[in-house]
Homo-oligomer: A and B are copies of this chain.
Amino acid sequence: MSTPTRLALQPAVTARPLTGFEQTLAGGTLQRVEAKEFVFVEGDAASHVYRVETGAVALFRVLADGRRQIVGFAYPGDLIGLGTEGEHVMNAQAIKPTRLRSLPVSGLHRILAQDPSLGFKLYQAIARELASARDLMLTTGQRSATERLVSFLLAFSRRNARIGQDPTAFELPMTRADIGDFLGLTIETVSRTFTKLKTMGLIELPHSNQVKLVDVSALKSLADGDDQDL
């Protein structure tokens, strides 16, 4: 699990941008985290909230026997560390070189006192987070490896569309192992499923981390069920 270079602290929760909160956070401290460095680990005191500026962070828990469940990835604009008070229940580890802006929770409380509407905004932010957690449950719950991986790729595509980037070609910041631990599959199954989609002509893989969606509608019908955010 590599060197847990702890950096800071707070309960784990991703969330979409949060206007109003934004300005405040803009004043926060900017920090760099190398790939594989931890932002915080389970049990750390929950003292800061972070916004990812560049890079990507994985949020996960580890079971007693070492299996790892990634509960989400945080990309630029996402918040991590929102959630419980007290101790972190989650680990947050950068999966590539990442810049974060942090705000101490104490500061958050100060702002809350000044701007009462912030509480409601936090509530909305975390509600969105909950929705995406439930989407993952849906994805993970009773679907086949192919359905899971395709849902994952389509979620990526949607995210790209939202931020104005090419929804049919993107670079995956995470390894097969990360994807597997996110979707509840093994590395091998993830790999085989990628190969299968490639063979079916639905995607192309110029490099193992670069995905091109060739037949989006076929992919959509493969994903079948609902699936939304992730």
Contact = CB atoms under 8 A, between A and B. Distances in A.
Interface of A: 11, 13, 61, 63-65, 67, 69, 71, 82-84, 89-90, 112, 116-123, 126-131, 133-134, 136-138, 140-143, 181, 184-185, 224-226, 228
A116 B112 CA distance: 9
A119 B116 CA distance: 8
A137 B67 contact: no
A184 B122 CA distance: 31
A184 B225 contact: no
Contact of A130 (B13, B63, B67, B184): B13
25 contacts: A11-B127, A13-B127, A63-B138, A63-B143, A63-B224, A69-B141, A71-B137, A83-B130, A83-B131, A84-B127, A84-B128, A116-B116, A116-B119, A117-B119, A119-B119, A119-B122, A119-B123, A122-B123, A123-B123, A126-B126, A129-B130, A137-B140, A140-B140, A141-B184, A142-B181
Given A69-B142, A119-B118, A127 B184 contact: no
